[in-house]
């Protein structure tokens, strides 16, 4: 059995309703972050008179898409979350 870091232990200790509330908060923050990044990209485009090609390059490096996944590898301690 692998040991899990304290972050994951605290995540797995929440009840179902707490988990649902936390998921709503994560989704809300995700949407807010995506909207903020999209605004930054549009402001950069118009402030600097960027071409569509330049905007596409910037968007590839500063994507407004937020990917959330609770399964995978922890970036804090590199342990595996299952």
Domain ranges of the chain: 6-81
Instruction: Give the per-residue pLDDT at 45.
Output: 93
Q: Could you give the CA distance from residue 64 to residue 75 in angstroms, rounded to a whole number?
A: 20
Per-residue pLDDT tens digits for 69-78: 444 444 445 4
Per-residue pLDDT tens digits for 38-61: 899 999 999 999 999 999 999 888
What sections of the chain are H helices per DSSP?
A: 6-12, 16-48, 52-61
Q: Could you give the CA distance from residue 72 to residue 82 in angstroms, rounded to a whole number?
A: 7
Alpha-carbon distances, residue 25 vs 18, 29, 44 (angstroms): 11, 6, 28
Q: Could you give the CA distance from residue 79 to residue 10 in angstroms, rounded to a whole number?
A: 15
């Amino acid at each position: 059995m692998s040991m899990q870091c304290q972050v994951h232990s605290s995540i797995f200790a929440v009840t179902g309703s707490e988990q649902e509330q936390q998921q709503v908060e994560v989704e809300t923050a995700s949407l807010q972050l995506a909207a903020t990044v999209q605004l930054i990209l549009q402001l950069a485009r118009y402030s600097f008179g960027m071409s569509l090609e330049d905007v596409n390059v910037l968007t590839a490096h500063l994507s407004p898409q937020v990917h959330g996944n609770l399964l995978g590898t922890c970036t804090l301690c590199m342990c595996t979350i299952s």
